[in-house]
Amino acid sequence: MLTVVIADDEPNILLSLEFLMKKEGHRVFIARDGAEAQELIDAEKPDLLLLDVMMPKMNGHELCRYVRAQPDLNHAKVIFLSARSKEADVQAGYEAGANLYIPKPFSTRDLVSRINQLMKPVG
Amino acid sequence: MNSLTLIVCSLLYLSLLFLIAYWAEHRTHTRRSLVNNPYVYSLSLAVYCTAWTFYGSVGRAVSHGMQFLTVYIGPTLAAPLWWLILRKIIRICKAQRITSIADFISARYGKNRGLGVFVTGLCVAGIIPYISIQIKAIATSFSVLSGQAGNASEGLFLGDQAFYITLVLTIFTILFGARTLEATERHEGLVTAVAFESLVKLVAFVAVGLFVTFGLFNGPTDIFQQARAIPALRQQFTFGPGHTSGDWFWNILLSMVAVLFLPRQFQVAVVENTSEKHLDKAIWLFPLYLFVINIFVLPLAFGGHILLGDLPIDADNYVLALPVQYGREGLALLAYIGGFSAATSMIIVETIALSVMVSNNVVMPFLVSRSNWQNRFGAVSSTFVINIRRLTIVLFLVLAYIYYRTVSQQFSLVSVGLISFAAVAQFTPAIIGGIFWKEGNRAGARLGLYAGTAMWFYTLILPTLVPGLLPPTLLTEGPWGIGFLRPQNLFGQTDLEPLAQGIFWSLLVNVLGYLWGSINRPQSALEHNQAVLFVDIFRLSRSDESSVVWKGKVVVSELQRLLTTFFGADWANRVIERYTSRHAPATPTSYADARLVTYCEKLLAGAIGTASARTLVASIAKEETISVDEVIRILKTSQELLSVNRELKRKSTELEQMAQQLSEANERLQAADLNKAEFLSTITHEVRTPITSVRALAEILYDTPDMNDHSRQQFLGTIIRESERLTRLINQVLDLERFESGRLQLQLEPVLLRDIVRQAIDTIQQLIREKNISITVQHDIPPTPVRADHDRLMQVFINLLSNAVKFCEPNQGRIAVLTSADGPNLIVSITDNGVGIDPAYHELIFDKFYQLHHKTRDKPTGSGLGLAISRKIAELHGGSIRVESQLGQGATFTVRIPVD
């Protein structure tokens, strides 16, 4: 079971991601903006973060850099889910420290299988 | 005609071909491809008609009657099936980057090297004689025309014109077929030249036909009546003893498959194909071509026999001899060039196809399987591959020439051609089974091919060695006197002529071998994977995931190095970069994901064949063993994914249609709008958000059959709301586009603004009541009619009023509407006590998609287009909209409409 923090300012996308992650058996925490997400990160020390890029108060890139700066979150994986899919956007996502950048709209099965692949123990 | 003139003409004609090919290549580089159209494609297919058609059909008609037609009836009957078979083969070859028939069979049966080598070998053995008879045809036609009939191959090696022609053809073939190494293995210059040659031979043949029919005789009736009087001809054209429908059947069947699987046909029909759509036209154009080129065969055969029958002239040469005998030198030259076209196009395409096979399926797999090959050849691989091809081209043409000088003198054009046909017909079970039957496997393909080939050799090739190498008793009494093993009367059958019975036996054992092996032997995982990819190509080819069966670990930089050796550093870098930015990121030192590995393997396969590519990639990969179950699981997943997508697609047809309208609108907008790029990317973003929700929720619903009712209702409700949001967005974009492009005309009529304001308030009454907002309306002027568009102004007021409602606090909101006049303008102002707007944004809010983020946590729910549309409508009326506001102090929107 993983601890997952999901941040997106579209409530309907949150709805679907939350359901999906719970169905996979994870502990799920949701945030409607960057600041809320930051609080959850501090409190819950997630293993996995699913982040929108454009959010009020603190955007996905800033959040991701914040996660990367926490020594006790070394293991955490960050996945961006964004409707911006230009090469430059993808590039910026990875530069911010993401493990995966998945363009919206995404396939839920694909998302789940890529998460499983990502979270598989190394070796 | 003297030999020098002929040589000069031949060389001039070849130079013309050069020019055409060069010009076509040039156009390809400037992206104005000539080859990308169905007519050139159909004409290039006519490489099927070789010197055998041009000269041999007439000869065959004289000696065998109507039977010459079977090789044209076959393709004509089979053409409708192309849509089923050829289209599938083309799709498979494009998806897997297959470049020859040997590659195809090797790839289908688990990228097996041995099969590739065998198929190549059989092609070479079957086709070299076929090439050599083309050389023979050129040499014979040369000597007929230059008046040295009968001694074409006399004299010294170096004194033989055929030798020089072979030499020139070698150079031409190398120049256009083996110049650079490309991942697609297509040669547009060559195809154009071949299409041109098809035209030339058609025109030449028809011209001779017209001359004989109407110049030497009084039309076709005349020829046929005179021919009836000749007993030898009558007998050939009457069905009786010696003619069986069995012969016809087997000949027709043979040519049905030959037109698909001869190396040159595979080259032009599949490898050089630029679009599957071209098939639609080729299906009737190619048979039409065959029909036209055959119209005059009988008149020429009869005419030739009537007029020249008493002279020592081979019926194969009537096409040339008739104009020569009657002093038409120009026409004779044209006929010569026509035959030359027919022979050269065949030689060139066939040789190139064979050379690709040899380099990709024999030499490369052998070399790359050596562990130290990269050290030795690493730096020069692409040149190396090219050089192998050049070498094979030279080798084959030399072999064909030697065969011509030594063996081919004793056979007619048609008989050698048919034996070649029978060789390639052996591929039929492996190919047809391979694309329609998943259980067909390597053991079956091998067994069928070996058995069929052995039978082909025994029944068709052995008899040609009699009486030279073997005693004639072999045919009359059988080997060691065993009668039922006589090659031409195997197991005592006597109903079929030798060729038909050879085809019958070889195909019979081939099919049986294929079936037996496939049913009784197991299939490896890789084989099964390839089988599914081939058979289900139409279901899988849209999906990238279709071939993810590489479980190896390959470092990205290694892959890049491999591509560099064959395609150069620039190209390799570009490929990797493009791939990683589009699909999955990778650094040079990270492991490439399975799709990248598969993708690179396919690129390599295009250049060096599937088996070699597999070996090469395997050499740098630590491949993990993968079980059959795993392959099936992977394939199943991708198939399920496809079916989910189909389901979703069906559900969203309506949305798609709107998206279509939207994109059409976008195209028009592009022309008008300077900020089009930004506008489009914004629209895309705005459209993606609701689509993301709809898709995710719909997929979850689909995948969670046991979901509780509450969640189900919530999900479905959200899907409906998001679809409505999308609809609204699309409608507004369409509106805006109509305004901006000027396609929407205002319906001007006298209206009272106060009436419109009242109706607008009525329309959003529900919203006002829900938030418990008080609204007042005041008129400072008497009712004054203006000419305006009622519905559009209503749209403006509804938009402004609902914005006001949206930004007011519930229960405390107040909205005041005031109508007044200012000189020539009527004014409607709408004031609210909501959150207000910072003056810095007063202009920006009228921009498309500009939305302010407020302190409230909710994202703005509108489309971001309302104010832009409102302003546009006011401007179309000659008026304006402005806003006055301070942050936190409410806002006033003022609409001005001129009175006249």
Of the candidates B650, B703, B716, the residue with the CA atom closest to the CA atom of residue A112:
B703
Whether residue B405 sits in one domain with residue B287:
yes
Cβ B271 vs Cβ B104: under 8 Å: no
| Phi-psi label, residue A65: left if phi above 0, alpha if psi -120 to 50, beta otherwise | alpha
Whether residue B625 sits in one domain with residue B658:
no
- Say if A44 is an interface residue toward chain B (CB within 8 Å): no
Residue B471 within a domain: yes
Structural domain of residue B834, as residue ranges? 748-898
- Model confidence pLDDT, tens digit, residues B116-151: 999 999 999 888 888 988 888 888 888 888 776 444
Whether residue B603 sits in one domain with residue B570:
yes
**Is residue B53 pLDDT above 70, yes or no?**
yes
Distance to chain A for B714, nearest Cα, Å: 10
Asked which of B529, B558, B581 is the last residue of a domain, the reply is B529
pLDDT band at B240 (very low <50, low <70, confident <90, very high): low
Beta sheet of A77-82, edge-to-edge order: A27-31, A3-7, A48-51, A77-82, A100-103
Mutual angle of helices B428-436 and B442-456, in 10-degree steps: 160
pLDDT of residue A31: 92
Amino acid symbol at A54:
M
Whether residue B440 sits in one domain with residue B361:
no
Whether residue B656 sits in one domain with residue B608:
no
Identify the residue among B684, B686, B693, B852 best suited for mutation to test binding to A, counting A beta carbons within 10 A and taking the highest.
Answer: B693
Residue B363 within a domain: yes
A10·B703 Cβ contact <8 A: no
In A66-95, which positions are buried (b, 16+ CB within 10 angstroms) versus exposed (e)? bbeeeeebeebbbbbbbbbbeeeebebbbe
Number of domains in chain B: 5
Residues 6+ apart with CB under 8 A from B768: B761, B775, B805, B815
Distance CA B125, CA B53 (A): 22
Identify the residue among B692, B702, B856, B858 best suited for mutation to test binding to A, counting A beta carbons within 10 A and taking the highest.
Answer: B692
Q: Residue B504, SS3? A: helix
Distance to chain B for A25, nearest Cα, Å: 14
Number of domains in chain A: 1
pLDDT band at B626 (very low <50, low <70, confident <90, very high): very low
Q: Residue B555, SS3? A: strand
* Ranges A64-73, B431-440, B651-660: which has the least confidence: B651-660
Of the spans B156-165, B268-277, B335-344, B477-486, which averages the highest pLDDT? Answer: B335-344
Which residues of chain A are modeled with pLDDT < 50? Answer: 123
Residue B802 within a domain: yes
Bridging pattern class, strands A27-31 and A3-7: parallel
Specify the CATH number for the domain of residue A115. Answer: 3.40.50.2300
Whether residue B139 sits in one domain with residue B278:
yes
B696·A23 Cβ contact <8 A: no
**B889 phi/psi in degrees, rounded to 5:** -125, 25
CA-nearest residue to A111 within chain B is B696
Residues of B in contact with A84 (CB under 8 A): 685
pLDDT band at B508 (very low <50, low <70, confident <90, very high): very high
pLDDT of residue B112: 81
**Is residue B380 pLDDT above 70, yes or no?**
no
pLDDT band at B649 (very low <50, low <70, confident <90, very high): low
Whether residue B226 sits in one domain with residue B137:
yes
Whether residue B166 sits in one domain with residue B148:
yes
Identify the residue among A19, A57, A84, A95 best suited for mutation to test binding to B, counting B beta carbons within 10 A and taking the highest.
Answer: A19
B699·A104 Cβ contact <8 A: no
Specify the CATH number for the domain of residue B178. Answer: 1.20.1730.10
Whether residue B675 sits in one domain with residue B615:
no
Residues of B in contact with A77 (CB under 8 A): none
A13·B581 Cβ contact <8 A: no
pLDDT of residue B105: 93
Residues of A in contact with B859 (CB under 8 A): 9-10, 56
- Model confidence pLDDT, tens digit, residues B781-818: 888 888 898 888 998 999 899 889 888 888 888 999 99
Residue B865 within a domain: yes
- Say if B790 is an interface residue toward chain A (CB within 8 Å): no
A19·B711 Cβ contact <8 A: yes
Whether residue B754 sits in one domain with residue B731:
no
Of the candidates B617, B594, B595, B596, the residue with the CA atom closest to the CA atom of residue B605:
B617
Structural domain of residue A65, as residue ranges? 3-119
DSSP result, B396-418: HHHHHHHHHHHTGGGS-HHHHHH
Residue B496 within a domain: yes
- Say if A120 is an interface residue toward chain B (CB within 8 Å): no
- Model confidence pLDDT, tens digit, residues B449-471: 999 999 999 888 888 777 666 77
Cβ B534 vs Cβ B632: under 8 Å: no
* Ranges B35-39, B102-106, B248-252, B369-373: which has the least confidence: B369-373
Residue B885 within a domain: yes
Residues 6+ apart with CB under 8 A from A63: A7, A34, A37, A38, A41, A49, A51
Residue B382 within a domain: no
Cβ A37 vs Cβ A58: under 8 Å: yes
In B311-324, which positions are buried (b, 16+ CB within 10 angstroms) versus exposed (e)? eebbbbbbbbbbbb
pLDDT of residue B672: 52
Q: Residue B830, SS3? A: strand
Tell me what the mean pLDDT of segment B204-211 comes to: 94
Of the spans A81-85, B444-448, B749-753, B849-853, which averages the highest pLDDT? Answer: B444-448
pLDDT of residue A6: 95
Find residue A3's DSSP bridge partners: A27
Cβ atoms < 10 Å from Cβ of B120: 27
pLDDT of residue B34: 75
Tell me what the mean pLDDT of segment B70-84 comes to: 88
Roughly how many angstroms between the first and final C-alpha of chain B, as a whole number?
92
Q: For B695, which of A15, A87, A105 is closest by C-beta distance?
A: A105
Whether residue B365 sits in one domain with residue B290:
yes
Residue B227 within a domain: yes
Distance to chain B for A85, nearest Cα, Å: 9
Of the candidates B167, B202, B214, B191, the residue with the CA atom closest to the CA atom of residue B337:
B202
pLDDT of residue B172: 81
Interface pTM, i.e. ipTM: 0.89
Distance CA B898, CA B882 (A): 15
Distance CA B626, CA B598 (A): 15
- Say if B643 is an interface residue toward chain A (CB within 8 Å): no
Asked which of B721, B741, B761 is the last residue of a domain, the reply is B741
- Say if B713 is an interface residue toward chain A (CB within 8 Å): no
Residues 6+ apart with CB under 8 A from B457: none
